[in-house]
Amino acid sequence: MDHNIYLIGLNHRSAGVDVRERYALTNIEEFESGLLELGVREVMALSTCNRVEILIVCAPEITQTNILEYWAKRCCGSVTELEPNTYCHDGLNAVKHLFRVACSLDSMIVGEPQILGQLKDSYRKAVEAGAARVIINRMLHKSFFVAKRVRTETSIASSAVSISYAAVELAKKIFGELEGQRAMLIGAGEMAELAATHLL
């Protein structure tokens, strides 16, 4: 084979909030572009509050360590801090992990619907930037197909809730009825928006 496929990442299981925040990708297009300049053939990165996933197609001489070094440098961190908090899958294991993520089997709340939309958005941006090409195209389209089958042919989506919904329900269990109570939301992203919706 003249290329390797890697999926390198960190998530809520492998890293604490402080590490996830420090190594979150704020400018994904620039991050992907830098990897292409290093000789990576294709790349797609996903960065959410609970995970960073970097899917890479590269020549055999580019190693997982090269990718970790680049990632750490871009985030003003160190490989010695980053590496123990990450997982690295290659070949078929990378594809299997991607499917688990797309199906929300790897999510903090199994079955939550947001991750598939976030994955589709990251994929679209990588295609538009020219970073995702033939191999990543095939992998992502197959992962979307698998995710759709899992959602329609199993009961995974029957009780699917977002983290924000679960947080509001927990608050109700602790404080009773929330009507007339004050709440403070920290953050301005999609999860904060969903929490505000569930609070109303």
88-109 tens-digit pLDDT? 999 999 999 999 999 998 988 7
Between 66 and 200, the higher pLDDT residue: 66
Q: According to CATH, where is 3.30.460.30 located in the chain? A: 4-153
pLDDT recorded at residue 102: 96
Alpha carbon dihedral 162, 168, 174, 180, in 10-degree steps, equals: -170
pLDDT recorded at residue 187: 67
pLDDT recorded at residue 54: 98
Phi-psi region of 76 (alpha: psi -120 to 50; beta: other; left: phi over 0): left
pLDDT recorded at residue 110: 80
Candidate from 8-17, 39-48, 100-109, 123-132 with smallest mean pLDDT: 100-109
Q: How far apart are the C-alpha atoms of 38 and 76, rounded to whole Å?
A: 18
- Contact partners, residue 154, CB within 8 Å, separation at least 6: none
pLDDT recorded at residue 173: 77
DSSP state of 105: S
User: Which CATH code is given to the segment(s) 4-153?
Assistant: 3.30.460.30
Average pLDDT over residues 76-94: 97
Counting residues of the chain whose pLDDT is more than 70, the rounded percentage is 88
Give Cα separations from 79 to 6, 11, 43, 64, 76 (angstroms): 17, 16, 20, 11, 10
Report whether 67 contacts 54 (CB < 8 A).
Answer: yes
pLDDT(32) > 60: yes
Average pLDDT over residues 111-123: 92
Report whether 82 contacts 24 (CB < 8 A).
Answer: no
Tens of pLDDT, residues 139-175:
999 999 999 999 888 877 666 566 667 677 677 778 7
The residues annotated with a catalytic role in the active site are: 49
Q: How far apart are the C-alpha atoms of 72 and 65, rounded to whole Å?
A: 10
* CB hemisphere CA count around 124 (13 angstroms): 7
* Mean pLDDT, the chain, integer: 90
